[in-house]
Amino acid sequence: MSNRSYSASKFARHWLRLAGWLALAGLLISCEQPQTPTGPVELESRYNDEQPALSGNGRFLAFVSNREGTRSILLYDLRDKRYVMLPRLNRRDAIAESPSLSYTGRYIAYVASDSARPEIELYDRATQHTQILTIGYRGWFRNPKISPDGRYLVFETGSRGQWDIEVLDRGAGIELDIPDYQRNRANPGASPP
Amino acid sequence: MQRQLKWLGWLFTCSSLLMGCAGPRLLSFPYDPAGRGLNSQFAEQNPAIAGRYIVFTSDRRNSQDVYLYDTVTRNLVEMPGLNAIDMIEANPSISDNGRYIVFAGSREGRTSIYLYDRDTRQLRNLTENLRAPVRNPTISADGNAIAFESGANGQWDILIYNRLGQPIGNITGR
pLDDT of residue A35: 35
Judge: A148–B141 Cβ closer than 8 Å, yes or no.
Answer: yes
The DSSP bridge partners found for residue A95 are: A113
Q: Which amino acid is at B61?
A: R
- The answer to whether the CB of A181 falls within 8 A of the CB of A104 is yes
In chain A the first and final C-alpha atoms are separated, in Å, by: 101
Whether A32 shows a pLDDT value over 80: the answer reads no
Confidence of residue A177 (pLDDT cuts 50, 70, 90): very high
Interface check B162 vs A, CB under 8 A: no
Q: Where does residue B143 rank: exposed (0-12), middle (13-18), buried (19+ CB within 10 A)?
A: buried
The stretches of chain A forming alpha helices (DSSP H) are: 2-32, 179-184
**Which CATH class for the B30-169 domain?**
mainly beta
Confidence of residue A144 (pLDDT cuts 50, 70, 90): very high
Nearest to A42 among B23, B29, B171 (CB): B171
Length of chain A measured in residues: 193
Q: B160 vs A47, B150, B169, CA distance in Å?
A: 17, 10, 5
CA pair distance A146, A158, nearest whole angstrom: 19
CA pair distance B57, B42, nearest whole angstrom: 10
When the pLDDT of each residue in chain A is averaged and rounded to a whole number, the result is: 80
Is residue A75 within a helix (H) or strand (E), and if so which, with residue range? Answer: strand A72-77
Judge: B49–A154 Cβ closer than 8 Å, yes or no.
Answer: yes
Confidence of residue A3 (pLDDT cuts 50, 70, 90): low
pLDDT of residue B130: 92
Q: Which tens digits make up the pLDDT trace of A120-140?
A: 999 999 999 999 999 888 889
Q: Which tens digits make up the pLDDT trace of A60-96?
A: 999 999 887 788 999 999 999 999 999 989 888 889 9
Judge: B22–A172 Cβ closer than 8 Å, yes or no.
Answer: yes
Residue of B nearest to A134 (CA): B24
CA pair distance A19, A37, nearest whole angstrom: 30
Show which of residues 103-122 on chain A sit within 8 Å of chain B, judged by CB atoms.
103
Domain spans of chain B?
30-169
- Give the best residue of A107, A147, A181, A182 to mutate against chain B (max B CB count within 10 A): A147
CA-nearest of B84, B98, B113 to B55 is B98
CA pair distance A147, B50, nearest whole angstrom: 5
Is residue B21 within a helix (H) or strand (E), and if so which, with residue range? Answer: helix B2-21
Judge: A154–B138 Cβ closer than 8 Å, yes or no.
Answer: no
Sign of CA dihedral B34, B35, B41, B42: positive
What is this structure's pTM?
Answer: 0.78
Interface check A173 vs B, CB under 8 A: yes
Q: A71 vs A64, B45, B112, CA distance in Å?
A: 7, 24, 27
Q: What beta strand segments (E) does chain B contain?
A: 25-27, 44-50, 53-58, 65-70, 75-77, 88-94, 100-107, 110-117, 122-125, 134-139, 146-150, 157-161, 167-169
Predicted complex ipTM: 0.85
Interface check B149 vs A, CB under 8 A: yes
Interface check A99 vs B, CB under 8 A: no
Nearest to A170 among B24, B38, B141 (CB): B24
Interface check B174 vs A, CB under 8 A: yes
pLDDT of residue A91: 86
Which residues in B lie closer than 8 A to residue A40 (C-beta atoms)? 159-160, 167, 169-170
Sign of CA dihedral A157, A161, A163, A169: negative
